[in-house]
Chains A and B, each alone.
Chain A
Amino acid sequence: MAGLELLSDQGYRLDGRKASELRKVQARMSVFAQADGSAYLEQGNTKALAVVYGPHETRGSRSKSLHDRAVINCQYSMATFSTAERKRRPHGDRKSSEMSLHLKQTFEAAVLTELYPRSQIDIYVKILQADGGNYSACVNAATLALVDAGIPMRDYVCACTAGFVEDTPLADLCHAEESGGGTALALALLPRSGNIALLQMDARLHQDHLDALIEAAMTACKGVSKVLDGVVRQHLEEVSVLTRD
């Protein structure tokens, strides 16, 4: 039979969500004590771990350091067990270096790097389980880790994907929807200002539909931001309770 029916006539997607609904987002901050900041985030079945070190002196050659702001160093990796087939993923393959670069660009737009000249901030993210929207899960997890590390940012960076099926924009695609053909767009947003930190799409889409798709992705990002905000507040409450004792 023909492939999966991504959107039923009744308006339900494969997993029972409606077009604009997100997957369930759950997160925890400060999962590791050794690192300066860390966070674990689940977006449906996509699970990501982010760890932040810094700001600290630049390691390695001095030439990399910048005199007026901090360097952001990102490393993205996927666990061997993150997909259905176990697969060794060497560092520095094309896909992960591209993803690292995207992450770097995203956070350079959000972190107030000018506060830390000649220093470096390391962000390490690992996908523990991949089920679509890896980039957005990484961004969201890294945001929480940065908050945890106490690094000043302009705003939360919230990311979400959106796809386009049967003339309807779908928010937060899962793996089946991503691979089921059609267009996927990833967007990282600074929700309060509405500024876009990164927008990426490498499939064909008619220009007329682009606005609708971006709109859907932005709404989804705002949804994510609410969840992240809730997570941070709850974490703070817990921490402050601990410190009070």
Chain B
Amino acid sequence: MLKSKTFVKKTRSGGVLKIVREHYLRDDIWCGSEVCKECKDEAPVLQEHACIESDLCSYPHYLIPDTNVLLHQIDILVDPLIRNVIILQTVLQEVRHRSAPVYKRIKDAIHEKEKHFYTFTNEHHRETFIEREQGESANDRNDRAIRVAAKWYTDHLAKKTNGGSLKVVLLTDDRANKEKAEQDGLIVYRCEEYIKSLIGNPELMDRLALQPDDQNEITGSKLLFPEHLPLSRIQSGIKNGMYLQGTFHANRDNYLEGKVFINREGEEINEVLLQGLQNLNRAVHQDVVAVELFPKERWVAPSSVVLQDDSPNDEDADEDETENNVNPIRSFDYSSVLKPTGRVVGVIKRNWRPFCGMLSQSMIKEATRHLFTPADRRIPRIRIETRQAANLVGQRIMVAIDGWPKNSRYPNGHFVKNLGSAGDKETETEVLLLEHDVPHQPFSQAVLSFLPQMPWSITEEDLKVRADLRHLCVCSVDPPGCTDIDDTLHCRELENGNLEVGVHIADVSHFIRPGNALDQEAASRGTTVYLCGKRIDMVPELLSSNLCSLRTSTLRLAFSCIWEMNHNAEIIKAHFTKSIINSKASLTYAEAQMRIDDSNMNDDITKSLRGLNRLAKILKSRRIAKGALTLSSPEVRFHIDSETHDPIDMQSKELKETNSMVEEFMLLANISVAQKIYDEFSECALLRKHPSPPPSNYDILIKAAKSRDLNILTDSAKALADSLNNATVENFPYFNTLLRILATRCMMQAVYFCSGMDSDFHHYGLASPIYTHFTSPIRRYADIIVHRLLAVAINADSTYPDLMDKHKQTALCNNLNYRHKMAQYAQRASVAFHTQLFFKNKGIINEEGFILFVRKNAIIILIPKFGLEGAVFFDHKDKPSPRLSFDSEGPTLKVEEHTFRMFDKVKVTISLDASNIQHQRIRMALVEPVIPGVSVPVPESEPEAKKPKLDC
């Protein structure tokens, strides 16, 4: 059965190293077809009647794609229509080396049963293994290996079906390969030919990626860009300091400008400015590029001009204008802020992903080539070829870039997917998820396979190892409509007069075991993302809304943190245990508040709530005394119509006493757990810190307070908290909130980190020396890790290597921090979109607001009622701008005769600016104070009629 075959490989790792590996050839690798009786495959994957209706191949057939087809046409291959494909090991390995994302997608496809994808281990099959010949390149060998395997399949199947109809079709786009395959007597097509021949699926055509062969026909012969240097020269250039390596960031407002962040340590220059199409040289946002610095006399200041690439959809017209745009920028005298400039000499790694956006249809009606405008302004427009342009206009679509030849003004790409019509709620949500890199595909089969079997129940074993807390009167308090309840509380009096307080958190780590696909998926998602009216789960719904949700009157597994406290809320004893609980009630904040306030109610739950509430107040006051900040940010809630799911009303989120009660105990649990896991694992505890901001961050806050003759101290969190408390202005109750909003903007981002890699653990905002996240394992992955650490610390679970590896932990923290940031952005974008929807239905509204910031040419206004922020600009493209004088000390802005100061009260009109369908936004215009030529008249009475509804 075993055939030994040794072969020699040379690899480069520092030097040339000869690697000798054994290579066994086997004769027990089956073909995987249902037809074949000889192969003893227990569960053949490939179907006997493999039907994809095609003009070219009218017989049942299996497809064998070669590496390039797989790499470039993965969008087609994963389509449900394409079934019965043989993926050769040679191909799979090449893909693995060349593109991790494609590799992952094809592996997912292989796992899917309905796709009937079979992996044939041809490199280890006795009859399909070939050795590299003298003078043959590795690629040529692989191509030959693919042909040999295809040939073997052809003969094998012919034998098994007695010359029957089942055949294999090789797909390749390589001309030489195709010719050779034809000589070998194989059925071989180019991918394009084959896909075109498929009956009834014209839409697949558009997903074909363009091949280099075709591109020559599309573009003119003019060279627009300098050639990229080969990788070897870039590498040697970087080594000897001629070039710098960095990540390219395009400028959002100016398509001719970008920056490269040099990510090498010890480098004096960490930012290089690039200006002009030639110098950008086809770099796309997020690419890793090599840049060459210009001499000092060519260094310039970044331009503050807004330039959008709105040139008509015409190939040649826009070429001359590119250089002209750059020149006037240099004439400004900014000698003090000169930035190093340079040009891109080569791209080290492309970071292309499929982009969302819209099609700008070509002016020629029958044309098939169109420009695509991505939603992200930092991405250049992409030329795609499609015949369904008419259908795609007004739709949000996804496009992938295939390449950017040096003679083309725009990159070439292909259509991937239609997301739906623009402005549509589902479509826009999809777009913002994709643009914020939020993983939101349904969970794959591999992930779901690790879910517990239903019906699930608590076993005897669970009872044995867990504390039985079923008798305790625990209850949960959450926002209305919450289905992923991850925390419950209880409080009762002990016989010795002390109080026992328990926080019980869903035991998610019981269901998600380290290292399996479910765990990996959760780790990669990092967090559940809450959008308006939609939730993107981190773990499958069975867990998030059922097994891990601590519902009423259901036995659930929990991780409990139980304190014994005296009546002064001082902790006497803390104790952690895995437990079984039975929640007695799931309350909303309002319900809980009602119970506490209603003196007629005296049941166990209410008593427990009152006890908790009393302790929480003590805890809170103690925390504030220590210098914890109470900050404010305008948050809004939408009332969503139950049928159309359109927002019908907006209001700021209001906070009840019970909100703060739950929060207080969650903080207490988090701090207790943080201390415990840090004591146990000083090197690898996952903690959360909130660094104190640099003093300069507070400048704007101090200035703003000074404008009202108030003094804000920022030496410490305590001083800040105190001076914020004292900062009030008579007849202006909202002033304090405004100050707190401003203070929030001064803060740094809180981050996760691994205790072994950092020495500063302080949480500034909470004024706690140590902090972590423990209380929401259903929606945050960090909490799952903390649960695992704590479980090990109390000997309830076993450890695994990655948990104890501080470098792996740090990598995980980086991902979690990134996901949290993106989730926040996505959330904000979702709120912004719903705000737009709301104002679309409302027409023009007249509202009162406060000036939050004063800028050179605009004032930023906050409307407290909607928590909405917007800018009133004083300069317009088409109107002569009024006299403006900006004083950065105040800061104040003088427009004509009126001076705007921070926190001034103004009246504005709010309307939706839908002139650019892709970037709709809220437009504000000044009503009061009246400045001739600037302010607008009070809107007509028509929208006023709707107003009473809002006021209620």
Q: Using a CB–CB distance below 8 Å, which chain A residues touch chain B?
A: 1-2, 5, 8-10, 12, 14-17, 21, 23-24, 44-45, 84-85, 131, 167, 174, 176, 204, 206-208
Contact = CB atoms under 8 A, between A and B. Distances in A.
Contact of B124 (A16, A24, A131): A16
Interface string B1-42: 010101000000000011111111110000000000000000
Given A1-B98, A16-B24, A206-B798, 7 more contacts: A9-B110, A10-B121, A15-B21, A16-B124, A45-B21, A85-B17, A176-B21
A5 B21 contact: no
Given A5-B96, A9-B119, A21-B2, A15 B23 contact: yes
A84 B18 contact: yes
Contacts of A2: 100
B21 A14 contact: yes
A24 B18 contact: no
Contacts of A45: 6, 20-22
A222 B328 CA distance: 82
Interface string B78-102: 0000000000010000001110100
B800 A1 contact: no
A23 B4 CA distance: 9
A24 B17 contact: no
Contacts of B799: 206
A14 B96 CA distance: 14
A185 to B, nearest CB: 15
A234 B98 CA distance: 50
Contact of A206 (B24, B98, B123, B800): B800
B185 interface: no
Contacts of A204: 801
Nearest to A13: B24
Contacts of A207: 798
B121 A12 contact: yes
7 contacts: A5-B96, A15-B23, A16-B123, A45-B21, A174-B21, A206-B798, A206-B800
A14 B22 CA distance: 9
Contact of A12 (B96, B110, B124): B124
B121 A44 contact: no
Contacts of B121: 8, 10, 12, 16
Contacts of A85: 17
A110 B20 CA distance: 34
B791 to A, nearest CB: 14
B100 A131 contact: no
A1 B25 CA distance: 26
A131 B2 CA distance: 18
B107 interface: yes
A21 B25 CA distance: 13
Contacts of B100: 1-2
Nearest 7 Cβ contacts at the A-B interface: A16-B124, A16-B24, A15-B22, A24-B4, A1-B97, A44-B22, A84-B17
A23 B515 CA distance: 29
Contacts of B20: 45, 84, 131
Contacts of A21: 2
Contacts of A24: 2, 4, 24
Contacts of B119: 8-10
Contacts of A131: 20, 22
A2 B21 CA distance: 19
Contacts of A84: 17-20
Contacts of B25: 16
B46 to A, nearest CB: 14
Contacts of A10: 89, 119, 121
Nearest to A5: B96
A200 B123 CA distance: 34
B272 to A, nearest CB: 29
A90 B317 CA distance: 75
A167 B121 CA distance: 22
Interface string B895-938: 00000000000000000000000000000000000000000000
A8 B96 CA distance: 12
Interface string B795-825: 0001111000000000000000000000000
A12 B23 CA distance: 11
Interface in B108-125: 110, 119, 121, 123-124
A23 B22 contact: yes
Contacts of A208: 798
Nearest to A166: B515
Nearest to B25: A16
* Most chain A beta-carbon contacts within 10 A, residue among B21, B26, B798: B21
A8 B110 CA distance: 13
Listed residue (B24, B96, B515) with the most chain A CB atoms within 10 angstroms of its CB: B24
A9 B21 CA distance: 21
A14 B19 CA distance: 13
Contact of B107 (A1, A9, A17): A9
A204 B801 CA distance: 7
A95 B121 CA distance: 38
A176 B20 CA distance: 10
A12 B30 CA distance: 13
Contacts of A17: 2, 24
Nearest to B16: A84
Nearest to A85: B17
A85 B17 CA distance: 7
A120 to B, nearest CB: 37
A8 B88 CA distance: 13
A174 B22 CA distance: 9
Given A84-B17, A85-B17, A16 B23 contact: yes
A15 B96 contact: no
A110 to B, nearest CB: 29
Contacts of A23: 22
Contacts of B107: 9
